[in-house]
């Protein structure tokens, strides 16, 4: 498995930024939420959100690629998996289709 810095170096040398690789446009938000896994639950802040995933500030009770639920009071629980975690930030990928996520969140934040 390659480390994060090596992946970032490859992306920089290829001229492709992480933002350019995203399929779904991210929207900045500051929403409180909970991350739940089989290991427990922890509070987090959602920093940005898209129909494909989210960036969170907090710690994770799960490891990379483990299934979690992102629980947002105004929307309920969204199924996801941890993609990365470092320095108090983490990225998750939603497991439901982008259309399902947009249907749940879309009226509050057009995705």
Domain boundaries, the chain: 24-105
Average pLDDT score over residue span 93-101: 94
CB 62 within 8 A of CB 27: no
Residue-wise pLDDT tens digits, 2-51:
333 433 444 444 454 454 455 667 899 999 999 999 999 999 999 999 99
| Per-residue confidence (pLDDT) for residue 3, from 0 to 100 | 38
For domain 24-105, give its CATH number from 2.40.10.220, 3.10.129.10, 3.90.76.10, 3.40.50.720. Answer: 2.40.10.220
Q: What is the rounded average pLDDT of the residues 81-109?
A: 89
Distance CA 53, CA 26 (A): 8
Q: What is the mean pLDDT of residues 82-108?
A: 90
Residue 91 in this model has a pLDDT that exceeds 80: yes
**What is the predicted pLDDT for the residue at 40?**
93
Per-residue model confidence as pLDDT tens digits over 43-65:
999 999 999 999 999 987 788 88
Cα 23 to Cα 38: distance, rounded to the nearest angstrom: 29
| HEC secondary structure over 21-38 | HCCCCCEEEEEEEEEEEC
Instruction: Give pTM, 2 decimals.
Output: 0.75
Give one DSSP letter per residue of 15-83, joined into a string: T--HHHH-SS--EEEEEEEEEEETTEEEEEEEEEE-SSEEEEEE--SS-TT-EEEEEETTTEEEEEEEE
Query: Do residues 101 and 111 lie in contact, with contact meaning Cβ atoms separated by under 8 Å?
Result: yes
Predicted local distance difference test score (pLDDT) of residue 111: 55
Q: CB of 64 within 8 A of CB of 83? A: yes
């Amino acid at each position: 498995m390659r480390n994060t810095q090596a992946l970032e170096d490859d992306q920089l040398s290829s001229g492709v930024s992480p933002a350019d690789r995203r399929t779904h446009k991210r929207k900045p938000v500051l929403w409180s939420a909970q991350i739940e896994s089989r290991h427990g639950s922890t509070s987090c802040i959602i920093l940005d959100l898209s129909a494909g995933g989210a960036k969170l500030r907090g710690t994770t009770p799960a490891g990379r690629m483990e299934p979690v639920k992102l629980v947002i009071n105004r929307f309920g629980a969204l199924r996801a998996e941890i993609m990365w975690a470092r320095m108090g930030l983490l990225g998750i990928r939603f497991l439901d289709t982008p259309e399902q996520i947009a249907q749940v969140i879309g009226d509050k934040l057009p995705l």
